[in-house]
Amino acid sequence: MARCLSLEVASHHITANTIAPGYIHNEFLARIYPDEEIERMYQSIPYPRKGMPQDIANIALFMCSDEGEYVMGEPMALYRVCSKSL
């Protein structure tokens, strides 16, 4: 979707990207899943710390900034592809 949209709007100096956050530690996750299930999810990620909402905000801020203006049509997958099962 982001790639198709970016082709449509690129000539107007507009970028279109998506963020696919994966497991992000937050209150919503804690309300839905028991602690054991959350820990099992995080054990599948080799990086030693949990993703936090601020991590997603930082990616969004980068993509909206002048520094991110050349990123176009990208699905930004965070943690999702870093599974130990790969």
Is 31 inside a domain boundary?
Answer: yes
**Residue position matching structure tokens 């990207």:** 17
| CATH number, domain containing residue 16 | 3.40.50.720
Q: Return the pLDDT at 56.
A: 93
Nearest alpha-carbon partner for 24 in 41, 46, 40: 41
Would you say residue 66 lies in a domain? Answer: yes
Give CA 18 to chain center in angstroms.
Answer: 8
Q: Is 49 exposed, middle or buried (0-12, 13-18, 19+ CB in 10 A)?
A: exposed
Is 85 part of any domain?
A: no
CA-derived radius of gyration, the chain? 16
Asked whether residue 82 is assigned to any structural domain, the reply reads no
> Is residue 84 domain-resident?
no
What average pLDDT does this structure show over 3-26? Answer: 90
Q: Dump pLDDT digits (tens) for 22-64.
A: 888 888 988 999 999 888 888 887 877 888 899 999 999 999 9
Q: What is the span of the domain harbouring residue 60?
A: 2-77
Q: How many folded domains does the chain comprise?
A: 1
pLDDT of residue 81: 46
| Residue 83 in domain | no
pTM check: above 0.85? no
